[in-house]
Structure 1
Amino acid sequence: MDQKPPRQRLVIFLLIIVPTLLFLAWSQASFNLRFLSPSNAQQAFVLIALSILIFFAFVIFALILVRTLLKLYVERRQQQLGSRFKTRMVAAFLGLSLLPVCFLFAFAYGLLNRSIDKWFGAPFEVMRKDASEIVHQLELEEERHALRDAGQLASNAELVEDIAREDAARLNPLLARQATDLGLEAALAFDSRGDLLARAGNPVPADSDIRRLIPAIRSATTPPEGLAARWASAQSEWILAARPVQGPGGARLGTVVNVRRLPPAISGIVQEAQHEIDKYDALNRERKIVRLNYLAALGLLTLLILFAATWFALFLSKQVTVPIQALAEGTHEVSRGNLRFEVKAPASGELRVLIRSFNEMTRQLQESRRALERAAKELQRANRELEERGNTMEAILENIPTGVISFDREGQITRVNSTVERMFPRAEAKSARNLTDLFSAEDARDITHLFRRAARQGVITRQMEIDLGGRKAAVALTISSIRARHGAVGSVLVLEDLSELLQAQKAAAWQEVAQRLAHEIKNPLTPIQLSTQRLQRLIERQGPSPLDGRLARTVEESASLISREVTTLKTLVDEFAQFARFPASRPVPFSLNAIIEKALRVFDGRLSGIEVHQQLAADLPLIQVDPEQMKRALVNLIDNAAEALEQALPREIWIRTALDAEREVVEVVVADSGPGIPPDAKEKLFLPYFSTKHRGTGLGLAIVSRIIAEHHGSIRAETNRPAGTRFIIELPVAVQGEMMNPEL
């Protein structure tokens, strides 16, 4: 058998203990049972604790009931399974319980009001007033008796004479005799100042108590008829009476006070009657509180009944909704594919049969699923092979140096690889949908014509010069039409940038030409230079020439001119030879910023009027570089920038370094504010023997390009904004293995 949950056990415990406590409190309040009446502080504390416990029980039951109803409301709003059934059950039980409970509450409350009204009705009020009047008359009679005794004392001639003389020795025995004769507890004599002269009899009450009860003694304002007061202790009750003592002529001599004890029978009756009257008055004043206490007890009983009805309704509804929720959860799990799920909710009767049938169904479905999984594994293996092939093709497309653009049958671009994104601006390449989004109108028209031919022939290849990202480039285009059984489904355009290849071919050809020119020109230069020098030495040794002076000067000037021009031509031939026999680089891990600073020191004092701006990144890593060759390349670029600024205003040079961590390259920018380079000359800048200067050899930028190429980098020229030209060098970052093995 299933064990009851802790919450259910707590509810059952409260349903048993709270009515018991409520019955005990109601019995004590209604019947005044002696065994529940507190006779000491400990029992009173127990009853107070019991009352507090009942109050907390009321609050707890109210909170639980409200929480249960709110929870049911939230479940109904969230349309949880079984919430409507629970709501109907609770509404039905509350409806069946509410009518009799409200009737019982109204009846009990009306009966309570009538009972309270009868308790404090007219007969009881008359009896209370009569009893109070009787007690009052008894007290007045005792006070009058005491005043008569005080009058006898005040009229005693011997006592008056002793008080006038303030003779305490005679007053004491005299007061004692008078107190005995009159049956007084005590007798006291005070002078006119209110000071005690003599006292006889019981020392209780004390003199201070007498002065406090009869303050007229000290102020000498006691009226002739006297004053009376009552004084009570824990054991007895006394009547105090004071009368003034007057001498001949009406002069006030002092005051006498007698103390009379009330008879025990009368004192007991008076105290008990007064106590009951006080209790009745207190109850009368607390009538509303009594009514509220009974109303609270009735409210707690009503709330307890409603709570029991609600809890019982929820208990019965859970016997149905819990198995249904478990079945719904099982259905949800099965719909998600979890066929191992088994419903284990407690149920009985038809619901238990339903749960067993559901579990049997899931077991059968699980067996069918295993058979399907075995068949699906073979299909997955085949699909995995196809996927691996597709991933391999995807990796190849993303890593090959040629650009690949795929089109659908309508000619719309469906995909471009990363090489195309590097050829064109990345934003344009990613968002391109037509040829015109990537190519110029003229290039798009030519490529469209090639697409038509490829549709007829299948594959076509052409070499064209097209605009790639703002620069003209020689490109090999291959267009292939993709066909399936039902016809063409698209096409593929392959772009291969041949600019660097053609440039390398031109550089190699010029290198061969330079080598041959240097060899062919240098051979005749040597004898020409030697002959010229010999002619000059001969003229110098002969002294004054017998020849005509004009002829001698002409010969000497011609020989000097031939020697200078041969030297210039030999320098040019040496540069050709150096370009042809360029030394191999020796790369080592080095700081690019340090190389730039060395290159700038070469121009110390030589860049007058030119402002050089340096923006060197501090986080640059080391690169594999030949410091001397890279310094030579940077010196060449800075020198070209300085020459371009001869006729420019302002005259500024910017040198900037930066790290592109994503591409793992270090970028160097050398920019100037000069006149710039014509667009048609940008593609020829790095070719040998091409120069935009009048006296340039055309080898400076060619050597720079070769140095950068040997360092596995790239260099390009762009238009600077707002004016001038900027050269951008990109060099790969040195990895750890290359730093340890510079020869790799």
Structure 2
Amino acid sequence: MGIRTRVIGLASALLVALPLFVLGTWLETRIFDGLTSILQNQSFLSVILFFSVVNLNAILAFVLIFLSFRNAVKLVVERQRAVFGSSLRTRLVTLFLFFSLIPTLILLYISTKFVNAHFERWLPPNIAQTSQMSLKSETEYREKILTLLSNVDVTGSREKAVDFILPMDSGRSSSVFVREDLQPLLPQIEATLKKNSSVISSKAKWIGIEGTRFLAAVRHGNLIYGMVAPPAIHSQWQLLEAEVSQAQPGIELVRMSYYILLGAITVLLIFSALWLGVTIARELTGPLQSLAVATELVASGNYEVKIDDVVSDDELGQLARSFRSMVFDLRDANQRARASAHELELKAAQLSEKTEYYASVLQEVQASVFAVDDQFRLEACNPATERLFGILETSARGRSLGELLPREFYLHWLRPLMMPLVEKGERRVAGEFSGKISGRDCQLVVSCHALIKPNGERAFLVVIEDVTDLARAQRMAAWREVARKVAHEIKNPLTPILLGAQRLERRVLEKIQGPEHDVMRESLRVIVQSSDSIRQLVDEFVSVAQMPGPNLRSGNIVETLSLALRAFPRIPIKFWSSWKFGTLSHRPMRRAAILKRFPCMS
């Protein structure tokens, strides 16, 4: 991944550097072509120094432009990707550029005007005007001389119109005419004409005489007509032309140097503003980005985050210290909250387990249990209440007991029983009710308890136990006990009476004759019959006193116990068996029951 990144970076640098190289080469060529006329009369050292400064400024400008463009592109990319702080960085950079670009451009404009005005005053206007007029008069003089030579009359008085007439062949001197004051210059004139014979034609031209004077020459046939400029005019014109030709490029060169320097300063100021904006924005957004990332981590639940990179003493450092303190407090609070939550979960689990256990117990309790508020409105009840009074908890919750319970039972018995809980503040009341409930005779045991809810409101818990079957069973048991005692009390003297009657019949009846015999026999018969009747009555009492006999049959005891436990699904009962036998026979059970009832048979 690192190699690929470096390759991409190198390719990007080459793509940027290649156009810059081409642009720099083109600009260098254009600058060289444009400055050829300016630098042609300058020294080699001045040319090297000038181009070194130009190249250095160009390289500096390209580097600054590249860095500025890179920072600008980076800002745009970060803005498009919505990087944190990109908006602030863009605003700061734009602000710095705005407040630096306008003064810089104004300063550049004023400096340019000042440089132009200064270089326009480099030569005084009168001197520049005089120089220009002198150069112009020289030009006019030369053109006039050339015109005269071109129009010279070769057939008339030629000696008056020209300064010398010489043949093309230097060996011939018969037709030579030279003005007397120019006789000393004749060898130099001949040498100059011989040297420039190839350029002399029918069109007059100026030729220099070894750098001291100038002559104008024109060819007519085999003769050369010419005029020589005065020495003073030549030296003055040459000096003036040299000074003007050197002064003007020097002025332009210095002016160009000033322009390059001003351009470099402008680019440097703009880059400095851009760099300063980027640096200040980075100094501001760096700590803020660290704080933002840390805030997101804290918001996601990571309280181990640290921001050690922000250690300044300014407002950002104070903000970082406050954030560290906040994270430390949040970490402690989170640990305490987790401990409290764990404890609450344990308590909630225990409470839920207890609630489920109590709900299971209430579901299986055969007594009617229901809770009412202080206005005797139903809040909750168990299934036994539904079976006893035909109340559905889902539809009855919130309704008054007067609407749910039988009118006579509630108004004449239950409500008066519960009033001491409301009026006197008693904690518990109880009572027994005997009467008809839903068309059947019932005997109920009722207990009412006053409760206080967690919110401080009062409530009442009513427990109604249907003891109708229990009372019937108790009465039945009492009758059985009475029958057993009566049978015992009657059966004990009945046997001696019957035995005494039978003995009298065997021994006494045979000895009695006459009417007493009949009376005695009838009396004994009555005694025996009455004893049999009493015995039958005793047998009935005995049958009442005895419990019904068991109806034993063969079966699987494990399946029987499993079916019995299915009746209590809400109570957590663990049942397991390692019984490996099948069906049990009822005969051993019957034998065990007989032996238990009649121990004397064992």
TM-score of Structure 1 vs Structure 2, range by shorter chain: 0.3 to 0.5
TM-score for the superposition, normalised by structure 2: 0.38
TM-score normalised to the size of structure 1? 0.31
Structure showing greater relative contact order (alpha-carbon pairs closer than 8 Å, 6 or more residues apart) = 2
When Rg is computed on C-alpha atoms for both structures, the one with the higher figure is 2
